[in-house]
Structure 1
Amino acid sequence: MTSRRHTTKVEIPIPSSANGSASASNKLDLPPPNNWPFLPTVLESLLIAIYPTTLLLGSVFSTLHPATRAATYNPISQAYDPADAPSYFAKKSNLFNVYFVKIGWVWITLAFFLFVFTHSSLGPPLRPALTKRRLQAVLRYACITAVWIAVTQWFFGPPIIDRGFRWTGGKCELIYDDSFAARAEKADMSDAEKAFTHAACKTIGGQWKGGHDISGHVFLLILGSATLWLELLPAMLKMEGLREARRILTSDGLVRSAAFETDDNAGGNMKVPEETHIGVKVALVVAGMSWWMLLMTAAYFHTWFEKFTGLLVAFSAVYTVYFLPRALPPWRQVVGMPGV
């Protein structure tokens, strides 16, 4: 019995002949493309690989560095003793941690919207016009921000990080203090607050103990910087190369280049004035600082597994917003794709 060989129909643009008679809508039946719609391109894969590589390098450094091994690390507070911290960046009080990481989403938001409203690939620079590309970029930001809020701030009560800590056996242990003020403060705290929120535990002088603590720093720094990079890449490549390399599944069931759905009237072919480059520069600075602080976090804070779960949660959100739309046309109609 012979089997029938199936091929995947892929539409690619056919270069015009010398006399210009060839049509751009010609179709060919070809074997499946090198990258499926739900997979990143080679360039995107290299970018994504930077994050696990950074975590690995930081963890190896902390294991091998003599000063780090000799320093006193408290796994409960997840911090080194300031008196013998192996580096300025190993202190939680370092300025970069206090004024950049601790309010990291403010910097990510500033960089994102400065880029969106100053780069002509998304619409008229320095004008509040809500083009399709800008609107979909804002929707992507809203989705990513919703994940950040759910994981670190609030998820119908305690955030996912705190819930995960409790689900894995963690609890809030009080630091006993017989002073009248401490007893009164503890009496004012409800049992639910003691049990379910890290912030409430810290407020009453307690400490999280026992459970798995997803690294919020790793999650934030990867989620924010990856969002900026995936928005920037099409603009930095002048809307060419990456756009053609990405594959999408269209509503008619064909696998095509992402350029098939590009709306050149949305601003993709507009000349970029020099003054609008400020958005790209600020986003690059924020993404670069995020990478550096990710390396410092990998070197001096959290366990291997806590850093891995922070990476995994961040990647899940990035994949859902930036890669899954390529294979799901209805989802792509809502959030779009950068440069398309």
Structure 2
Amino acid sequence: MSSPQPPSTPKSSRPTITTPHRRSNSASYASPIDIKPKSPAARRMSMTSTSQSASLTPQTFAEKILANEQVVLGGIVSSLMLCGILYSLIRSTSLNTSEIHHHSLPHRAAYFARKSNILNVVFVKRAWGWTSLLYLLHLFTSPPTTSSNDAGSYSRTRRFGVWILATAAWLLFTSWFFGAGLGDRVIALTGGNCAVPLPAGVDMKSVGEIFPSLFTAGPEIPGTTSQVNKIYVPLPQDFCTGKPLTPSTFPQLFSLIPSSANIHATSDHDPLHALPRPRWHRGFDISGHAFLLTLSIMVLGRELAETWKSWAVKPGKINRTLFRDTGSINTAHWWISVSATVLVGIWAWMILMTGIYFHNPPEKLSGIVLGLSTSYLINVLIPPPSSQSAFNPISAPNAAFSRPTAGLGSMFDENAARRGGVVDDGVIHEDAEESSGDDLIDRGKTMGKRQKAD
């Protein structure tokens, strides 16, 4: 006796399971190399993946450094200053420049400890002038091929804006638009006094009647605890921030100075002055050299970054440019780039000398921090074209590698990106506009099979 059979289901009511885009006659072997994506969206994704793979080529050490030149330059500046401070503490080489008498001290033995050294007189005293000159020359002689996108993040307009912001920061520190500069204001707020030394031969009784708050200052005599003191007269603070000290602006002081009517100006010498320029005494004196040289290095380094990258990628091209007829502008641009690079080296060396010979450690560190902070703010307002870093917090997205978005909140759909369609109830539908001719034929065959099955 045969076992009972389950009731048969009509053929027309059986569910038909079909796999989209699967051909029935695809039994022949196909190499993975021969398989090509059908959808244009899938082909674009394949090409993008290839481009991304190609972009993962290992970088050289120099290229890795130059890709984050702002971080590297900031690290070099900070390291040089810290090394200088450490050396000055060990060898006691630093001069406290907040003391008013340091201007009258005899020259120190070390050459770069003297303010009369050639680099300080010729370059550092005019630091922003040199930086601006080479920055603008490099900017306006740079060929179009130097920039990755002359209308984008490396355009001349944006680079000129960097110089404008840096110049505004320099003016804000040295001579603020509404009076004294930021450095002078900090000295005044932290207890600094503007003063001038009294000349010899002044009647001290008369001085005491006019100026009751005199003070003395001077260096210690080596090997003793005594000091060589001078008498100083406190002055209003505006005399240390640009106001000239003349008999008309401060007659009380000049009334005490012995008459010098017998001294007449001739063509051989300038008129003699009885008083030196007023200066600050005490207070917190932010290192102006540390601030300005740091800002100069960071701004010049940003402008030279693309040039340095081209030198790192093609080092042989540096020498060939000199002996190849590339035009006067290109040759001038090369020499300007070399000069600006040398200037960056001079600024770095003088930062080290500042750390060794001038200011106390807090004043030097505050100058470095202020310079780096100003550079960071400039990079926030006008982002450089290099990769993201601590000094480049904003970077434009790469359009070649941008992903499509779909759905609420722009959520990314991987299937939609690969097949060019949208997900609806778990079924993927390709867009008719992006379907190839083979895809339309496959759809027609599938629909015909379904109709015959029904």
1:197 paired residue number: 241
2:111 paired residue number: 88
Kindly state the Cα deviation for residue 191 of structure 1 after the two structures are TM-superposed.
Answer: 3.7
Q: Which amino acid aligns with 1:234?
A: E
Secondary structure, counterpart of 1:236 in structure 2: helix
Q: Which amino acid aligns with 1:215?
A: S
Q: 2:297 aligns with which of 195, 208, 225?
A: 225
Structure 1 CA distance for aligned equivalents of residues 361 and 103 of structure 2: 15
Residues 111 and 283 in structure 1, CA contact (< 8 A), matched pair in contact too:
yes
TM-score (normalizing by structure 2): 0.48
Q: Is it true that 1:148 corresponds to 2:174 in the alignment?
A: no
Kindly state the Cα deviation for residue 178 of structure 1 after the two structures are TM-superposed.
Answer: 5.9
> Could you give the per-residue CA deviations for residues 76-135 of structure 1, whole angstroms, max 9, x where no partner exists?
14569444x1410100111111110001111101110111012225779xxxxxx98112
What are the residue-to-residue correspondences of 1:266-277 with 2, within 5 Å?
Answer: 273-277=330-334
Residues 186 and 284 in structure 2, CA contact (< 8 A), matched pair in contact too:
yes
1:56 paired residue number: 82
2:309 paired residue number: 237
Structure 1 CA distance for aligned equivalents of residues 97 and 291 of structure 2: 21
Q: Which amino acid aligns with 1:106?
A: G
Residues 79 and 301 in structure 1, CA contact (< 8 A), matched pair in contact too:
no
Residues 219 and 311 in structure 1, CA contact (< 8 A), matched pair in contact too:
yes
Q: Which amino acid aligns with 2:343?
A: V
Residues 276 and 74 from structure 1, CA distance in 2 versus in 1: closer, same or farther, beyond 3 angstroms?
Answer: closer
TM-score (normalizing by structure 1): 0.63
Q: 1:100 aligns with which of 117, 123, 135?
A: 123
Q: Is it true that 1:207 corresponds to 2:279 in the alignment?
A: yes
Residues 194 and 236 in structure 2, CA contact (< 8 A), matched pair in contact too:
no
Residues 225 and 291 in structure 1, CA contact (< 8 A), matched pair in contact too:
yes
What are the residue-to-residue correspondences of 1:2-41 with 2, within 5 Å?
Answer: 21-22=43-44
Secondary structure, counterpart of 2:132 in structure 1: helix
2:371 paired residue number: 314
Kindly state the Cα deviation for residue 297 of structure 1 after the two structures are TM-superposed.
Answer: 0.9
Kindly state the Cα deviation for residue 193 of structure 1 after the two structures are TM-superposed.
Answer: 2.2
Provide the aligned length of Structure 1 versus Structure 2.
257
> Could you give the per-residue CA deviations for residues 172-230 of structure 1, whole angstroms, max 9, x where no partner exists?
123123668xx9xx99x984523x52775897543311210010111111111110001
Kindly state the Cα deviation for residue 74 of structure 1 after the two structures are TM-superposed.
Answer: 6.5
Structure 1 CA distance for aligned equivalents of residues 78 and 36 of structure 2: 48
Structure 2 CA distance for aligned equivalents of residues 24 and 98 of structure 1: 61
Kindly state the Cα deviation for residue 236 of structure 1 after the two structures are TM-superposed.
Answer: 2.1
Kindly state the Cα deviation for residue 41 of structure 1 after the two structures are TM-superposed.
Answer: 6.8
Secondary structure, counterpart of 1:282 in structure 2: helix
Secondary structure, counterpart of 1:117 in structure 2: helix
Structure 1 CA distance for aligned equivalents of residues 302 and 73 of structure 2: 9
Q: Which runs of 5+ in 1 are unaligned?
A: 1-16, 28-39, 125-130, 242-271, 328-335
Structure 1 CA distance for aligned equivalents of residues 345 and 338 of structure 2: 10
Q: Which amino acid aligns with 1:219?
A: F
Residues 24 and 165 from structure 1, CA distance in 2 versus in 1: closer, same or farther, beyond 3 angstroms?
Answer: farther
Residues 337 and 276 from structure 1, CA distance in 2 versus in 1: closer, same or farther, beyond 3 angstroms?
Answer: farther
Residues 190 and 275 from structure 1, CA distance in 2 versus in 1: closer, same or farther, beyond 3 angstroms?
Answer: closer
Kindly state the Cα deviation for residue 298 of structure 1 after the two structures are TM-superposed.
Answer: 0.8
Secondary structure, counterpart of 2:141 in structure 1: coil
Structure 2 CA distance for aligned equivalents of residues 74 and 214 of structure 1: 10
Q: RMSD of the alignment, in Å?
A: 4.2
Q: Which amino acid aligns with 2:166?
A: I
Which entry has the higher C-alpha Rg, 1 or 2? 2
Structure 2 CA distance for aligned equivalents of residues 310 and 142 of structure 1: 20
Residues 223 and 18 from structure 1, CA distance in 2 versus in 1: closer, same or farther, beyond 3 angstroms?
Answer: farther
Residues 322 and 337 in structure 1, CA contact (< 8 A), matched pair in contact too:
no
Secondary structure, counterpart of 2:123 in structure 1: helix
Q: Which runs of 5+ in 2 are unaligned?
A: 1-34, 50-65, 148-152, 212-233, 247-274, 314-328, 385-393, 399-454
Residues 188 and 237 in structure 2, CA contact (< 8 A), matched pair in contact too:
no
Runs of 4+ aligned structure 1 residues displaced above 4 Å come to: 17-20, 23-27, 40-43, 72-75, 77-80, 121-124, 198-205, 272-275, 324-327
2:431 paired residue number: none
Structure 2 CA distance for aligned equivalents of residues 163 and 122 of structure 1: 45
Structure 2 CA distance for aligned equivalents of residues 102 and 43 of structure 1: 26
Identity, in percent, stands at: 28
1:294 paired residue number: 351
Structure 1 CA distance for aligned equivalents of residues 36 and 104 of structure 2: 69
2:186 paired residue number: 164
1:265 paired residue number: none
Secondary structure, counterpart of 2:194 in structure 1: strand
Residues 18 and 56 from structure 1, CA distance in 2 versus in 1: closer, same or farther, beyond 3 angstroms?
Answer: farther
2:340 paired residue number: 283
What are the residue-to-residue correspondences of 1:248-263 with 2, within 5 Å?
Answer: none
Residues 183 and 286 in structure 2, CA contact (< 8 A), matched pair in contact too:
yes
Residues 297 and 220 from structure 1, CA distance in 2 versus in 1: closer, same or farther, beyond 3 angstroms?
Answer: same
Kindly state the Cα deviation for residue 145 of structure 1 after the two structures are TM-superposed.
Answer: 0.3
